[in-house]
Structure 1
Amino acid sequence: MSDGVSVPVTASNGDQNSAEWSAERARAFLREMFDAAVASASPSQVLAQALPEKPTGRCVVVGAGKASAAMAAALEAAWPDVTLEGVVVTRDEHAVPTQHITILEASHPVPDERSEQAARAILKAVDGLGPDDLVIALISGGGSSLLSLPAEGITLEEKKQIGKDLLHSGATITEMNTVRRHLSAIKGGRLAQAAYPARVATFVISDVPGDDPSVIASGATVPDQTTALDALRIVRKYDLTLPDSALALLKREADHARQDTPAVAEGNSLTMIATPFMALQAAADVARKAGVTPVILGDAIEGESCSAGIVFSGIARSVKQHDVPVSAPAVLLSGGETTVTIKKGETPGRGGRNTEFLLACAQALGGESGIWAMAGDSDGIDGTEDAAGAIVTPDTLARGEKAGVSAEDFLKRHDSYSYFKEIGDLVITGPTLTNVNDIRILLVL
């Protein structure tokens, strides 16, 4: 690794800026911005100020997602004088201690039997409530697989296979969750319907482009505005092969569209307590304090990870060479969720969308001096790996060649994690207990 060595510079508009930054400083600055973005979405920091008036009746807490356990603990800390009860489900190794709310763990990103058990436990927790009771729903990204109760006639094994196929198809998170909702007995607002006539107050940490609450964890408490026809179009678009039971259910629902609206309490509410844009703003604040101009390119970036890496590297080069759209030193920030499409017959290596983005970015930059990058999933887990993401330096490709690894070859077989592991540039944070999707940072000096 090149920590502590001055960044090599060539004749460009950013020469003076580059010369003033050591590799160690650049790495630390990237990490400081990433950590600030993640911290801005910590449930302990953002939940208490958003809570409603305390209820007069029972207060039942339910929830699902990678941040749900931390949200439950934050709720208990904020309301020590309220008798709380209920169940939330989170990803393995994401549980935190609570006094009154039961914390369950299940599998992510593909559901398991515990996901179904958790869904049943949560439905049982809201059964039999009255109009004076309050249900607090704590929802964050990851809830779709953690709260998995197949619709009648579909088995969990069938739904697991559908989930795997969706993950490899190249479908966006919005498209994936549209299909999931229509094959579920708890998502698409069905949890809120089960709680009626109790009032449901939902608190959401968004991990999806556009912050659509019906997409986050597939909207267990949010009425579904999509139809079975929408789900079928997505199935056809990505040439997915559904089990006969799932296909029959979607076709049956499409042929007999429901005319009535299931009952929910009139006082139901939903509050976004953390979003990708808020996280990018926190990173931008760090940049400003350091005298570096931040530019937020967008909080809802989608598309292929590899393509995004090439596009963003081009923007960074424009900043360095032409002072467009901003003069260096500058930092380009973006969020959202790109995708990695695995074609049929391919056997992918290791890696998630962030390390794939970075390896494509490094290859496109070709060792350009004065440009650094970091990308990571705010939950600390890029795909299914133990790294949040990685860091790209001006000598990423040179160090790869020295180690005998080819960026081009590793990118072709979707093995970006292995490349960055080989050169020692993975970023490992462990579970952060929140999730506002990906944070991408390009530093131009």
Structure 2
Amino acid sequence: MTVTHEATSLLRFATAGSVDDGKSTLVGRLLHDSKSVLADQLEAVELASQARGQEAPDLALLTDGLRAEREQGITIDVAYRYFATPRRRFILADTPGHVQYTRNMVTGASTAELAVVLVDARNGVVEQTRRHAAVAALLRVPHVVLAVNKMDLVGYQESVFAAIAREFTDYATSLGVPEVTIIPISALEGDNVVTPSAHMDWYSGPTVLEHLETVAVTHDPTGDPARFPVQYVIRPRTAEHPDYRGYAGQLASGVLRVGDRVTVHPSGRGSTVEAIDVLGQAVDVAWAPQSVTVLLADDLDISRGDLIAPAGADVRPSQDLTATVCHLHDRPLKPGDRVLLKHTTRTVKAIVKEIPSRLTLADLSQHPAPGELAANDIGRVVLRTAEALPVDSYADSRRTGSFLLIDPADGSTLTAGMAGAAFADAVGAAPGAAAGEGADDGWDF
């Protein structure tokens, strides 16, 4: 049976680059020239620009919404914007350029299908460019665009562009980035952003917007094995439905059909999909990322956090988890830390057993046994959970292969994790070490 559903024509993308490379100006130019800016928004930008003594509207202010950002002229938070053209809808994340905000770029790119990395044509590929490309590779972003900005300040020279393109392509290839597109632009002047440049007749490729509108978003979650994390158990207990027991949630990937044999993890018990409800209507088939209610033929003990998957699927619940993580909190992450681990809809206690290595993104070297991970550090961790979790490899599923570490004391997010090999395959596996002993305080699993 072939599943047919309406294409959403939605592209999620993130922008990144060094400070003052023009990320916010590029995004502002995209919004302005694609006529995605409301009149009152443009008027506010014009007034703010005049107050700063600028004659022309500073389009960067369309994304730099925080007052602190406007005063400093930099982006320090992830600014999300939504816009559309006749060909596609977009969700963009304009991420910070400072090294200390690498964690913000991880946040912005975690759900992106494309990353736009900017470089200043005068400076070429710098350490922060490599860092952003490495983060995009780490997060398995399938498409990377290098926008060589400020070409107007180097006289629109093809030789400058070609040298930068060669250097970045070599580096991205070493990271295993599957697709790289390189476009010469001037965000300030509008060259090759929405309309083709009249100053670079030597370039015949697409503009930034044209590429965003036409790039093939090849990943289709319906083509992956079905994964259905249970979010809520529905038991109405009404006279009309005395035996109704539905499992509500969002399909993380794949397709579920009435009659499919499934297994509930981590218990390993099997059943058959008896019915599927979508918005109160019975359907024969559902696909990711629909929110649905699934009814099973057997009365099983299922609760929030359980995972329903096809019978025979390669799901191996385990209490031991090795992962690549980006530490987000100002307090360091250390071996022996007691944390909460949130995977899909389940949250369990966990212990950080060891931190085998920390990754230096500038040159992709591994720093063995760092002792801790500070804010913005990316490294390998070994975790032990109180309950077995059905975690997929992040390389196979960005949704069911990711997790968060949470502070049990105040609920703050500490670390974002990617299960399995993740980036280690590209840079060399981290050295192992023996797991440490946990304290006898109810957290030693």
The structure with the largest alpha-carbon Rg is: 2
Using structure 1 for the length normalisation, give the TM-score.
0.22
Higher-RCO chain (CA-CA 8 Å, sequence separation at least 6): 1
Instruction: Compute the TM-score of the two structures, normalised by the length of structure 2.
Output: 0.22
